[in-house]
Amino acid sequence: MTKNTITIFDTTLRDGEQSPGASMNIEEKIAVALQLERLNVDVIEAGFAASSKGDFESIKEIAKNVRNSSICSLSRCVESDILAAHNALKDAHKKRLHLFLATSPIHMEYKLKKTPTQVLELAQQSIQRAREFFDDIQFSCEDACRSEISFLKEVAHAAIEAGAKTLNMPDTVGYRLPHEIGEIIKELSDFIKDKAVISVHCHNDLGLAVANSIYGVINGARQVECTINGLGERAGNCALEEVVMILKTRKDVFDKYGGLDSKINTREIYKASKLVAEVTGIRPQPNKAIVGKNAFSHESGIHQDGILKHRETYEIMQPSDIGLVNNENLVLGKHSGRAAFRDKITSLGYELDSNTLDNVFERFKILCDSKKVVYDEDILALITESNASVPQVFSLISCQCSSTSNGLNVAALSVARDGEVRSDCAIGNGSVDSILKAIERVCEISGRLLDYKVESVSRGKDAMANVVLKVSFNDSRAVIGHGKDLDTLLATAKAYINALNSYLRMEKFLG
């Protein structure tokens, strides 16, 4: 790592998970962490160990599974938080603690009710205590970009003296303009010199998170905190894929600043984006830079003509740079064998172990029986589903329901639990209502449906439906359920049962 390599600190699993409705279960978090490792992310902020038992357990599991990226937990400047992070990260190959404390006048006065002197002392004491367990400590001045620069310098000095190696300067409320962030980082960078790494963590409330991060980097920051698809609190965080592709695509500019670049394997970006969209149920908007559905499609005749004559007329990046491959000429169908299927998976950029390959292949064959053309998107959906699948307590055996323009909707279904098959039926206001009620009867649980989305996985009238729903069972924390099927109502039943399995898994972890 040269002094101009930008450390990519991914916080999809912590700040990203704070997006409304983005909660992930433990299997999903591990799958995301492994994909971040494939991307070659330097630091993965896996959660906030002290915030919940679920976060603690998932950090612990991620620490056991990931070898190449450093695993990090967020922590307040509180002894019990530091200990929780230490316990969660015991098995990590490389670990980091991320301490934070607010430094802006508004946060210190109204939220912390502390004087600047108290904040300074608490920061220093906490870093010193954390040094007993961690070598690599990052300290964040929360709301740094609305703090007094003279106070930021005092805190930075104290934090470095106490042992912090990275100083993060969040624009917590997404308030600053690029040139302002540039001035703050430049002043701090001149003051700190190379005694610590300066980091930027920009929120996107004014749509400037990426631009602000880039200005931070140009002015001396050597770490960028970001998330896949720009997920995060409120309007989100700086999008990893955008900042990384800016560094790559405008190499000519960054070479003038000493060759600023990241170590990210950009060919893993598309898969990371797909996976995060799938497990959170939050898809990037179609015109989202880099990973939006339309980011590489050319609609107008003039553009298409230009692209055909010479790609660069209208394209500044190659789709393959982000791992977007178009190999639809390698068409598979019901007669395709396992070897051809494995080649297809490899050409899509995946390597599956033999059990997962068998499982995905089996489901591919079932799909081929009922669908004329199986597209790459269908296969990708099957892979994602099996990579982040939650252990099944309940599984759907059969489901039958009626749709009527003027009458009662009835659903009857059978579900298996530990080899025992149970069946029941229910009446509802519409097919979805009757199916969910029947599941609740048969599984003896009640849930509140908070969100329901349906979209097609690929193309055509016979495309698979992908249902993503959010439920709170027994009034507990909401969980997300996913279900795919050629039949939308069956996809709905599968998604509800998947959410129920996630809930039971969470309950098991939380004791």
Stretch of 165-173, 324-332, 405-413, 495-503 lying at the interface with ligand KIV (CB under 6 A): 165-173
- HSE (CB half, 13 Å, CA atoms) of 414? 7
Taking the complex as a whole, how short is the minimal distance between the CB of residue 166 and ligand KIV, in angstroms? 11
The smaller minimum CB distance to ligand KIV, of residues 147 and 273, is found at: 147
Tokens matching residue 82: 């530091």
Partner interacting with residue 37 (select from ligand KIV, Zn ion, none; CB below 5-8 Å by kind)? none
The smaller minimum CB distance to ligand KIV, of residues 140 and 147, is found at: 140
241 binds ligand KIV (CB under 6 A): no
Residue 458 contacts by C-beta under 8 Å, 6 or more apart in sequence? 375, 376, 377, 378, 464
Taking the complex as a whole, how short is the minimal distance between the CB of residue 149 and ligand KIV, in angstroms? 17
Q: How far is CA 109 from CA 105, 114, 276, in A?
A: 6, 6, 37
140 binds ligand KIV (CB under 6 A): yes
The smaller minimum CB distance to ligand KIV, of residues 162 and 202, is found at: 202
Residue 56 contacts by C-beta under 8 Å, 6 or more apart in sequence? 47, 49, 50, 84, 87, 88
236 binds ligand KIV (CB under 6 A): no
Answer yes or no: is 107 a known binding residue: no
Measure CA 208 to chain center. 20
Taking the complex as a whole, how short is the minimal distance between the CB of residue 119 and ligand KIV, in angstroms? 15
45 binds ligand KIV (CB under 6 A): no
Q: How far is CA 366 from CA 303, 349, 360, 467, 490, in A?
A: 40, 23, 10, 19, 15
> Of the candidates 497, 274, 312, which has an alpha carbon nearest to the alpha carbon of residue 395?
497
Taking the complex as a whole, how short is the minimal distance between the CB of residue 100 and ligand KIV, in angstroms? 4
262 binds ligand KIV (CB under 6 A): no
Strands (E), 336-456: 394-401, 409-417, 420-428, 447-456
15 binds ligand KIV (CB under 6 A): yes
The smaller minimum CB distance to ligand KIV, of residues 158 and 457, is found at: 158
220 binds ligand KIV (CB under 6 A): no
Q: Which residues pair with 399 in a beta bridge?
A: 413
- HSE (CB half, 13 Å, CA atoms) of 126? 26
Task: Please give the backbone phi and psi of residue 327, each rounded to the nearest 5 degrees, phi first.
Answer: -125, 45
Partner interacting with residue 140 (select from Zn ion, ligand KIV, none; CB below 5-8 Å by kind)? ligand KIV
Q: Identify the residue among 37, 42, 55, 142 touching ligand KIV (CB under 6 A).
A: 142
Answer yes or no: is 201 a known binding residue: yes
212 binds ligand KIV (CB under 6 A): no
Tell me the C-alpha distance between 72 and 225, whole Å: 12
DSSP category for residue 328: T
- Measured from the Cβ of residue 369, the count of other Cβ atoms closer than 10 Å reads 7
Answer yes or no: is 86 a known binding residue: no
Alpha helices in 176-289, H assignment, sequence order: 178-192, 209-218, 240-249, 251-255, 269-280
Number of residues that bind ligand KIV (CB under 6 A): 10
Q: Identify the residue among 201, 222, 288, 437 touching ligand KIV (CB under 6 A).
A: 201
The smaller minimum CB distance to Zn ion, of residues 164 and 415, is found at: 164
The smaller minimum CB distance to ligand KIV, of residues 45 and 278, is found at: 45
- HSE (CB half, 13 Å, CA atoms) of 270? 19
Taking the complex as a whole, how short is the minimal distance between the CB of residue 151 and ligand KIV, in angstroms? 16
Tokens matching residue 94: 């490389």
12 binds ligand KIV (CB under 6 A): no
385 binds ligand KIV (CB under 6 A): no
Per-residue binding string, ligand KIV, 55-84, x by CB under 6 A, is -------------------x----------
Answer yes or no: is 310 a known binding residue: no
Taking the complex as a whole, how short is the minimal distance between the CB of residue 201 and Zn ion, in angstroms? 6
Residues contributing to the site for Zn ion (CB under 5 A): 15
Partner interacting with residue 54 (select from Zn ion, ligand KIV, none; CB below 5-8 Å by kind)? none
Stretch of 148-156, 164-172, 278-286, 420-428 lying at the interface with ligand KIV (CB under 6 A): 164-172
Q: Identify the residue among 56, 100, 270, 496 touching ligand KIV (CB under 6 A).
A: 100
The smaller minimum CB distance to Zn ion, of residues 102 and 506, is found at: 102
The smaller minimum CB distance to ligand KIV, of residues 15 and 27, is found at: 15
Give residue 460's region: left, alpha or beta (phi > 0; psi -120 to 50): left
DSSP category for residue 250: T
Q: Identify the residue among 170, 182, 216, 236 touching ligand KIV (CB under 6 A).
A: 170
In the sheet that 465-473 helps form, which strands lie side by side, from edge to edge?
Answer: 447-456, 465-473, 479-485
* Amino acid present at 113: K
Count Cβ neighbours within 10 Å for each residue of 371-392 and write b for 16 or more, e otherwise. beebbbbbbbbbbbbbbbbbee
CA 369, 374, 379, 382 dihedral sign is negative
Annotated binding site for Mn(2+): 15, 201, 203, 237
Q: Which residues bind ligand KIV (CB under 6 A)?
A: 15, 74, 100, 140, 142, 168, 170, 172, 201, 203
